[in-house]
Amino acid sequence: MARKRHLSRIAVMQVLFEHLSRGVNMQDSLQRNVRELGEADSAFAEALLSGVLDHEEELQKAIVEHAPGWTLERMDPIARCVLFVGTFELLFANDAPPAVAMNEAIDIAKEYGTDESGKFVNGVLNAIAHDPAIAVNHVAK
């Protein structure tokens, strides 16, 4: 199950990246990415993508507030897409503990982003997870 969810997170990150860079149809892109990754959980991937899109404004706000000096446009595109998925999981999803959501995002950023993407994603998600003003679904306050 963990491998399937990891691949699902990658599929959603890829959809977001493809949409940003080429304006592709997200549903078609998701189906193609899930199919190409082979073992991804399509229902989980669809729920992640839907959640990110439904909460896009709130996610943007949280990311920008916790990445001082960085606009979304200035961020590495892969790191930005990973942050949307990771932030959604921290703030709105209830199916993975914060440490798991953060580690997944960091691993994906390291694998697909620049040399600094993993550190950047770690810093932003850690700041979000520990912000007392944000109601992170999984973090005990």
Please tell me the predicted confidence (pLDDT) of residue 94. 84
Domain spanning 2-129 has what CATH number? 1.10.940.10
Residue type, 16: L
Element (H, E) at 118: helix 117-129
pLDDT at 139 over 60: no
Q: Which residue has the tokens 């942050």?
A: 83
Q: What is the pLDDT of residues 3-59, one digit of tens each?
A: 899 999 999 999 999 998 888 889 999 999 999 998 899 999 999 999 999 999 999
Phi-psi region of 20 (alpha: psi -120 to 50; beta: other; left: phi over 0): alpha
* pTM for this model (two decimals): 0.92
d(CA 77, CA 23): 14
Q: What is the pLDDT of residues 56-112, one digit of tens each?
A: 999 999 999 999 999 999 999 999 999 999 999 999 998 888 999 999 999 999 999
